[in-house]
Amino acid sequence: MNTIALIPAWCPDEHLIPLEKELQKLGMKICLVDDGSPAQYDGIFRNSEAYATVLHQRPHQGKGAALKYGMRFILDQVGIDCTVVTLDADGQHTAEDAARCAEDASEHPQALVLGTRYLNKKTVPLHNRMGNELTAALFFLSTGSNIKDTQTGLRAFNGRMMPFFISISGKRYEYEMNQLLECTKKEIPFREVEIDTIYGTCSHQSHFHVLRDSFLIYQQLFHFAASSFTSFLLDYGLFALFTMFLPAVSANILARLFSATFNYEVNRTMVFHDESSRKNSLLKYAVLAAGILVVNTLLLNLLVNAMGVNEYVAKLLVEVTMFAISWTIQKCFVFPVSRRIAG
């Protein structure tokens, strides 16, 4: 089976040609996508024609668009009977590591293989390690998938995955994160291959932005937080209303019945995008809501009646405590990923 190295390149430097030579020595075909680089880089791309098929994407659109442009070309010229390995043009990936990832992908055609840079943490700069560990932790929280290096551009996969990967949204660096997120929805497994960690020799460092790109991971969590906050406002408002003529515990139960119904519908349709019938999730949600209501009420009663905390302050403390518990259970049990719309 053909192995094709797909390299998106914007303003490449002197690391590109040696990389192409090594990839060619290892028997790979190379598809190099010039992502609208300025004219002063034309010489590098002309020299690359001795080793690679060079495509020119005009104007500059971003890494994700370049990767999809290259995959469309490969599909048209080669088809799906191949292994594709994507890698960066800046010298952070070696040809040997690309070959090992491609070999693993050929042996596991159902998986997306990731070249993982962070298994040997002593070789990684602190800011890179902290950024990746934060992103990896939040990726796990959001998807349930444990990936050590969510930011790696060295990835290998069977050519049959190309139509799916082309359909994934994103033109710039967010595309690679979207690819991981969409794979979790499709239940495509991940495999990680340890690769060399190369820093300090490349003029073009990673364009990953922790705040911007991590937001892509946090989106579902943010949506859940917004849903929970809206439900809390409804719950808190009704609680305040009902305490005018009911004891705090009774007011809490009645308010929670209204807010839980609202929260279920919002989470089902807008947060977790559950496409199954309500009977698959409603009973689970009802059990969860009942359990949370019991714990919520017990905690509220403890704070108000046993510890003398103001009932409105107590309500705030209890709701914050229950947020993380509710998120985790709904994510993993009520609306599991296998029933979500694949996008």
CATH architecture of 2-208: Alpha-Beta Complex (3.90)
pLDDT in tens, 123-135: 566 656 666 777 7
Query: The pTM is what?
Result: 0.67
Cβ atoms of residues 88 and 7 within 8 Å: yes
From CA 110, how far away is CA 243, in angstroms rounded? 57
pLDDT number for residue 70: 97
List the chain domain ranges: 2-208, 219-339
Cβ atoms of residues 205 and 217 within 8 Å: no
pLDDT in tens, 43-85: 999 999 999 999 999 999 999 999 999 999 999 999 999 999 9
pLDDT number for residue 63: 92
From CA 104, how far away is CA 127, in angstroms rounded? 30
Mean pLDDT for all residues in the chain: 83
Cβ atoms of residues 78 and 6 within 8 Å: no
From CA 334, how far away is CA 279, in angstroms rounded? 11
